[in-house]
Amino acid sequence: MRVLVVEDDARVAAALAAALCRHGFEVLRAGSVAEALAAPTVDMILLDLGLPDGDGVDLCRRLRRNDTDVAIIAVTARGEERDRIVGLRSGADDYLVKPYSMAELMARVEAVMRRSRPRPKPVVEIGDLHIDLAAHAVTRGAEPVVLTRKEFDLLACLAHEPGVVVPRERLLIEVWGTTWPGAGRTLDVHMATLRAKLGEPTVLETVRGVGYRLARS
């Protein structure tokens, strides 16, 4: 997933880029309207509406016209209701008012990405493991695997993209709705139980310091 950060404050842009990288995104940066319009295609744009060389709302409209699929989150220091409406009517998918916390930003990013991501296949087959995402049912061979709600949600997150490492922070946001570092231990405990329930040979791979991945086959 590639994100374009449009922000003229270099310090803010660097902090945003670092946070997004930690969550597994590839980050491009633009500090002006001209740079934003010249940027390559991305999956999501984080757009500061207060830019030095032009009107952010107008830029938002133009970016939306250029790429109808891209997810756009508009960011502004102005918090008035009228400005929010203008922001959303300009084609943004969501709207964030400064000052915001990094946790709030990441929750919005994840929510927008989830909405815009292609719908996952309802059934995922990996070897003799059968995951029915719609029915919330998992079997391995002929045996049903009984999972708790959180264990199933974790497995579902990984099953959306087999073979792709899902960062720990994203799993914490999607399953527990938090980026609180203390929740990392809960994640590891749930993952260990899930791995034990799914049995051998294991289909859950740990990528140390990054996250988890479901084997592709």
Give the residue with the Cβ less far from Ca ion, 24 or 50: 50
- The CA-to-CA distance between both ends of the chain, in Å, stands at 23
The residue written with tokens 């919330």 in the block is 136
Contact letters for Ca ion, residues 15-54 (x by CB under 5 A) = ---------------------------------x-x----
Q: Are 193 and 155 in contact (CB under 8 A)?
A: no
| Strand-by-strand arrangement of the 94-97 sheet | 26-30, 2-6, 44-48, 71-76, 94-97
Stretch that binds Ca ion, among 1-9, 28-36, 94-102, 107-115 (CB under 5 A): 1-9
User: Which residue number is nearest to Ca ion in terms of Cβ?
Assistant: 50
Give the residue with the Cβ less far from Ca ion, 48 or 151: 48
Give the residue with the Cβ less far from Ca ion, 10 or 146: 10
Q: How far apart are CA 155 and CA 194, in angstroms?
A: 8
DSSP state of 19: H
Contacts of 181 (CB under 8 A, 6+ apart): none
Q: How far is the CB of 81 from Ca ion (least distance, A)?
A: 21
Residue of the chain from 8, 35, 153, 205 that contacts Ca ion (CB under 5 A): 8
Q: How far is the CB of 112 from Ca ion (least distance, A)?
A: 20
Q: How far apart are CA 75 and CA 56, in angstroms?
A: 9
Give the residue with the Cβ less far from Ca ion, 46 or 183: 46
Q: How far apart are CA 83 and CA 163, in angstroms?
A: 42
Q: How far apart are CA 55 and CA 53, in angstroms?
A: 7
# residues contacting Ca ion (CB under 5 A): 3
Stretch that binds Ca ion, among 4-12, 83-91, 103-111, 142-150 (CB under 5 A): 4-12
Give the residue with the Cβ less far from Ca ion, 79 or 144: 79
Q: Is residue 199 at the binding interface for Ca ion, with CB under 5 A as the rule?
A: no
Residues that bind Ca ion (CB under 5 A): 8, 48, 50
